[in-house]
Structure 1
Amino acid sequence: MRNGTTYSDGASSSTSLSSQQDVEDDRMIAVVLSEEYAKLDGAVGRRLTNLAPVAVRSYDYNLQHVPRIILHFPSTSDSNLDYQRLLQRINVYGLYEVKVSGDGNCQFRALSDQIYRSPEHHKHVRKEIVNQLKDNHALYEAYVPMSFKRYYKKMAKSGEWGDHVTLQAAADKFAAKICLLTSFRDTCFIEIVPQHQAPARELWLSFWSEVHYNSLYELQDAPPQLKPKKKHWLF
């Protein structure tokens, strides 16, 4: 009801259909990712084995990453809608999200959790990434629209938000394939791979578009203290 007027159930039905379509879209994406990556190391395939095969729309996934700094942040209303979409995808893929502090260090905390099983080594992770930037400026400076020295000095400060350039530097530094499950409407999955070496590990992050990063695990691989507790019913 709004302004004394009662609306029909058409709006809620439309919302329900839209939500159902989003789930089906994500299932389409999952099939493609399963086929593409199961042959590499089986990790993604295992995450997606519970999803039934359906048709694929090619524009729903993105396997290429272009490093860039953050120039635009979504509005509060857009952010809330994006996070609901992200949660839906996390559930569809059977993953568990380890939430880290949103203090400006979330990208580095999430990477720390994936590498060291604790977000508390984020300062070390940031330092390693900044050193990677400094020592290999030719790989990254073309993506930064400012003095590169100014950029990496700014990025060395605690609380400075990580961006897509620091993600590429992290992939290069830690020889890692970084897998982002995102809240973007038309790009569910982004992969960042090392530029000059084969990846030796996978790091899984959730990416609430330009707002926040968290760490992702398969449910069975989540740290024991963080696994959802089973409910016990007494009759």
Structure 2
Amino acid sequence: MCCTMTNVSLYEGGCSSSTSLSCHESDTNNDRMIAIALSEEYANLDGGVARRVSNLSSVPHVPRINTFFPTFNDASLDHQRLFQRLNAYGLFEMKVSGDGNCQFRAISDQLYRSPDHHKHVRKEVVKQLKEFRSLYEGYVPMKYKHYCKKMQKSGEWGDHLTLQAAADKFGAKICLLTSFRDTCFIEIIPRNQAPQRELWLSFWSEVHYNSLYELQDVRVQYKPKKKHWLF
């Protein structure tokens, strides 16, 4: 169930070498248009999970990179604990692929009701890390440029620092229902702005993220209406 990261394009199109620059600009514009449209379309669906867990106390979030991973036995126990918590609060995990993009897929699902836009999410997170280096560099125990370069590559995991960068970039409070014994609920608050929305994720044993919904909402299919620019 471990996660590595692989980039998948939001917009697929063929480009020759002579037109690579214009194609890159076209891709960027299409990414931005899709992201804005989908985000606006689903913004009114926020808040359901928050009502379910309104009595939970969160612990402070400390941005950090991955340094420890559980044994198989510990991960199995954690999975059972998370399952019990989901049942207790009437929540459902919208499972995303464990192909290495799970953190970005889960955030994409919360933002756009589809995990398929994880490349756009990753690109925006890395952009945030690069543009506001002073906010994040102190949490990285390696050369910062090396860290950012790694985060762009397939095979690299999202971590608690990319969660903070995602919260900052998208102006969202990211709420994690975890499998940890002593830490049930973690909130990642955007810096320098009030959160505009909430994103709810499950977090299993440092190795996998899924997207969370109220169980009653999952019974209704939430496929977005097709737009001509999504074809």
Q: Which TM-score tier does this pair reach, normalised by the shorter chain?
A: 0.7 to 0.9
Distance 1:224 1:112, change over 3 A: same
Q: Which residue of 1 aligns with 2:70?
A: 74
Cα offset for 1:42?
6.5
Distance 1:150 1:42, change over 3 A: closer
Q: Which residue of 2 aligns with 1:25?
A: none
TM-score by length of 2: 0.72
Cα offset for 1:65?
0.4
Distance 1:146 1:158, change over 3 A: same
Which residue type is aligned with residue 207 of structure 1? F
Higher Rg:
1
Structure 1, unaligned runs of 5 or more? 1-40, 52-59, 227-235
User: Residue 210 of structure 2 aligns to a residue in which SS?
Assistant: strand
Note if contact 1:61-1:186 (Cα within 8 Å) is conserved in structure 2. no
Cα offset for 1:142?
0.2
* C-alpha distance in 2 between matches for 1:199 and 1:223: 28
Which residue type is aligned with residue 131 of structure 2? D
* C-alpha distance in 2 between matches for 1:175 and 1:116: 15
Structure 1 segment 1-235 matched on structure 2, within 5 A: 43=48, 46-48=51-53, 61-222=57-218, 224-225=220-221
The alignment covers a number of residue pairs equal to: 177
TM-score by length of 1: 0.71
Aligned CA-pair RMSD: 2.0
User: Residue 177 of structure 1 aligns to a residue in which SS?
Assistant: strand
Identity %: 72
Note if contact 1:61-1:187 (Cα within 8 Å) is conserved in structure 2. no
* C-alpha distance in 2 between matches for 1:195 and 1:43: 24
Moved over 6 A (4+): none
After superposition, give the CA deviation of every residue in 1:159-181 in whole Å (9 maximum; x if it has no partner).
31100000000000000000000
Cα offset for 1:104?
1.0
Cα offset for 1:47?
1.1
